[in-house]
Every structure is written in C-alpha cells, then in structure tokens.
C-alpha cells in the first residue's frame, strides 16, 4: 500500500493522518495527535514553535513504528503568522501568535501611508487586526533590529518544512493571507512592501500546491528512521479544507468549520470592489489559482474558550504552569445545555474584536448583551444558546451579502471540518438560512492536504476527479 501523510496543525491541536487509495476510495488513518498551546514570552502570546517541531517529528516517527511509511507528506497550518531568519538560517524572531495585541493601532498607522481602500483594491484581503502586514509593522516598531537582520520570512508551515528539509520555500495560498500579495498578479506587491518599509529580499518566489520541497535532511532521517518527499499542499489550512468540499455545482456555499468559520465560495477571479471591501470579504489564493472568496467568522473559538474557562483552563499558559484539571464540561454537554435554552433571545455580533482574545469569554458575552440592551445570560445554557444562534445568524447574513456581491442565488451549504460534527449548529444554520445543509467530511483540512499529494502522485488527474471520489469515500449527511 502506498501511503501519504498529512500533518494538519490548527490553533488548538494538530494531527498526523495517513491516507491511501483503495479501490478508488480515500482511506484516512490518524496516527498521532497533539495539543498546540500558546505560551507567554517576552510579553507576547507566542506559538511554542520548538514544541511544535518536536511533535511534527514524533508523529512522523510514529509512522515507522507502525510499519506504514509514507512516500510523501505535507504540512498545513493556520495563516498570517511567520518567523524571521538570518543569513545563516537561524530563527531571529519569536512565532508571535495572531491573537496577540501587538498590532493594536497598526491599521491607523498604515492608513496614513496607504488608505485601506487602496490596500484592498490591490490585495483583496479583508481587514483583520492580525493580518501579516500589521504584524510586520508592529515587529518593525518593537524590534527594528530583527527586520534589519532578516534575510528570509517563512510562514509557519514553511518554517516547519525548512526544519525537515533544509529548503526555504514560500507557498502561494498561505502567502495570500498576508495582505502583501497583489491579487491580480499573484505575487508580492512591491509598492506595499516599500510603503511599510519591509525589504523585498526576505520574500521568496511563490510556489503552488503539489510543488516538491525536498527530502528529509540527514538529522531528521536519523530521528525518524526513513526518508520522505515533502510536498507543498495548500499550506493554509482553509485552502486545503476548501479542496475537500464535495460540491457538485457552483451554487454551493462552503463553510470550513473549526476554531474559525470560513464561509465563502470559489471564484476564478478576485473581487476587489468597494462593496466587497465594505462587506469585509477576502480573496484568498487557492489550489490551481482558484480564489477562495470568503469571510472569516469567529467560529467555534467562542465555544472552545467557554469550555476551557469552565474547566479551569487558561487561554495562554506557560508550560511550567500547565496543570491538568478535571473536565467538567464536554462539547456535547455544552450543546445539550444550549438546546435546553433554545428560547433565549439575545444575539451578539460574534466578529467584534472583544471576542478575539478576552480574558473571559463568558464575561465578554455577558458584557456585550448588557451593552446592547438585551437580556444578559446567567445560566451556562443561555450563554451557549446566545453564541450558537449568533453564529448561525452571522452565517445567514454573510450568505445574503455573498448573493448581493456575486449576483448568484445559492442553493445549499456544505460544512466540512471538525465543526461539521456539531449537530445543533448545523440545525440552526439550516433554520436561519433556509438552505439545506450537508456535513462532512470531518477531516476536511487533512483530506485536502492529502488530495494535493494524491494529485501529485497521479492517483487523480485533478481537483475535480479527486472531489468526485469524496462522495464514494465518506459519509456526507444532509441535516
């Protein structure tokens, strides 16, 4: 059997999933899973990048232990975050996490140099306070010596690839999340880089999914016990997740449901009009230069945060202070609590910055209800119902905006990713949108990662044929 390995790392956890083709069906097998916990370092929320490297290598080694050695592998992660390297390939910056507050005020700083309307016209990327462009401006302001010394910028999956192979290679889909790419030209925008004072030399040529990065370096080969060809998938996890949507026509809306809810469609060309900008939609690069026209919605982050809080777990932890606490609430129990309070009326705007990284998500929800003159939730079920219905209403509003911008009428919703298991959210989405909702596959991101490898290996002749196999391979359910 010929195996391929997807390493899919999200904001809260990562997993190594082997994939192979058996009689035309895609078969997935999870072999390793780990937590991705942020740490507080030098006053900033950071990814524990060294710990991530250890887990990446440990999961690869696990394949050897179980006797299922992959011929290719690929890594995908979240977007926007990066590290800087010097001329000797050494990391000279921390992997600061996108929820860190260092970008506060950077939008206003950039506005003095480049109006957002012009930035959007060039990049097609919605405003988010954590976009790479704002992170680099904050980086330059706090640590100008890092920018001066830097010879290369690598996004997180690109840096992990570099550790495995010794090859520095930038990838298109993840780079497109930075608000530094020209959407039409599909390359780094030199004018933007000049305006913010970041040297062009640190940005490498952009490569497309299915490009070969290289084999393992000697150190990694020794650690894991074999060699493997590292392939670029769509290294931005949403880019991979959208590949795994089993849509049969172009009137389907996609939701990649996880920590974030990424709601949108696929277009052949970017939409960078003012109406699109005002609606805060993004044109992110996808497989085969397809544009993922989508909106980032706060997503299950709110539910995850409430659960962590109830179970006595802090959002940012120093490893030395991490203590296992007894789990008081499962996700299923929180869902049941929401159902029991289905008549609770209050609705909030889930995309407010107040919910991006609050010390207490529960308090943030209560405060927003009070601020907007609505009934303040008291019980856990009321808090959960408020979040659930607010997410569903946001989906419905975003789909109406999509229809107004694209001129299309959408006929169904496909939900992929871990959030597709949340039956209550899917039911509310169907109720609020009035559209049929199809859920699955659950491991959408890892599957999309593997699809790039399958296509590279010749198992499928392209994205359409690979998508066609999804219905035969996985249980796609209608809500």
Half-sphere exposure (CA, 13 Å, Cβ side) for 269? 4
Vertex 208: Cα angle to 207 and 209 (nearest 5): 130
Fill in the DSSP letter of residue 460.
S
Give SS3 for 225. Answer: coil
Of 229, 235, 263, the C-alpha closest to 9 is: 235
Give SS3 for 166. Answer: coil
User: Which residues are annotated as catalytic?
Assistant: 237
Report how far residue 1's alpha carbon sits from residue 346's, in angstroms, rounded to the nearest whole number: 53
Report how far residue 46's alpha carbon sits from residue 24's, in angstroms, rounded to the nearest whole number: 42
Vertex 177: Cα angle to 314 and 191 (nearest 5): 130
Spatial contact of 170 and 203, defined as CB atoms under 8 Å apart:
yes
Spatial contact of 309 and 360, defined as CB atoms under 8 Å apart:
yes
Phi and psi dihedrals of 387, rounded to 5?
A: -65, -45
In order, the DSSP letters of 11-45 are SSEEEEEEEEEETTEEEEEEEEEEE--EEEETTEE
- How many other CB atoms are found less than 10 A from the CB of residue 251? 12
Of 188, 196, 77, 173, the C-alpha closest to 123 is: 188
Q: How far is CA 169 from CA 114, 131, 174, 233, 319, in A?
A: 29, 20, 12, 12, 31
């Amino acid at each position: 059997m010929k195996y391929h390995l997807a390493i899919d790392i999200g904001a809260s956890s990562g997993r190594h999933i082997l994939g192979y083709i058996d009689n035309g069906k895609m078969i997935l097998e999870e072999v390793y899973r780990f937590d991705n916990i942020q740490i507080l370092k030098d006053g900033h929320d950071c990814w524990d990048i060294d710990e991530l490297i250890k887990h990446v290598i440990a999961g690869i080694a696990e394949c050897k232990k179980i006797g299922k050695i992959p011929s290719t592998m690929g890594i995908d992660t979240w977007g926007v975050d990066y590290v800087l390297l010097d001329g000797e390939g050494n990391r000279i910056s921390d992997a600061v996490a996108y929820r860190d507050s260092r970008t506060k005020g950077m939008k206003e700083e950039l506005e003095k140099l480049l109006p957002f309307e012009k930035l959007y016209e060039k990049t097609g990327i919605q405003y988010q306070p954590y976009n790479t462009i704002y992170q680099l401006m904050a980086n330059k302001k706090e640590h100008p010596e890092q920018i001066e010394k830097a010879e290369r910028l690598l996004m997180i999956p690109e840096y992990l690839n570099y550790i495995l192979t010794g090859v520095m290679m930038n990838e298109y889909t993840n780079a497109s999340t930075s608000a530094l790419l020209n959407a039409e030209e599909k390359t780094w925008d030199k004018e933007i880089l000049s305006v913010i004072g970041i040297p062009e030399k640190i940005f490498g040529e952009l490569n497309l999914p299915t490009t070969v990065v290289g084999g393992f370096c000697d150190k990694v080969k020794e650690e894991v016990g074999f060699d493997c060809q590292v392939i670029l998938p769509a290294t931005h996890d949403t880019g991979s997740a959208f590949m795994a949507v089993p849509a049969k026509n172009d009137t389907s809306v996609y939701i990649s449901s996880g920590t974030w809810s990424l709601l949108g469609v696929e277009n052949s060309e970017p939409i960078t009009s003012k109406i699109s900008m005002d609606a805060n939609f993004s044109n992110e690069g996808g497989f085969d230069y397809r544009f993922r026209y989508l909106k980032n919605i706060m997503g299950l982050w709110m539910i995850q945060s409430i659960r962590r809080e109830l179970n006595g777990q802090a959002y940012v932890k120093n490893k030395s202070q991490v203590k296992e606490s007894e789990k008081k609430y499962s996700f299923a129990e929180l869902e049941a609590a929401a159902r029991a309070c289905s008549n609770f009326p209050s609705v909030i705007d889930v995309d407010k910055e107040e919910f991006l990284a609050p010390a207490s998500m529960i308090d943030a929800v209560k405060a927003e209800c009070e601020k907007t003159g609505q009934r303040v939730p008291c019980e856990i079920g009321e808090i959960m119902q408020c979040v659930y219905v607010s997410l569903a209403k946001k989906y419905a509003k975003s789909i109406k905006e999509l229809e107004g911008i694209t001129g299309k009428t959408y006929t169904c919703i496909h939900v992929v990713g871990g959030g597709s298991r949340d039956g209550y959210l899917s039911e509310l989405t169907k109720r609020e949108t009035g559209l049929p909702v199809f859920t699955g596959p659950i491991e959408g991101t890892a599957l999309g990662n593997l699809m790039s490898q399958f296509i590279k290996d010749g198992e499928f002749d392209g994205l359409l044929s690979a998508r066609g196999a999804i219905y035969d391979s996985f249980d796609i359910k209608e809500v």
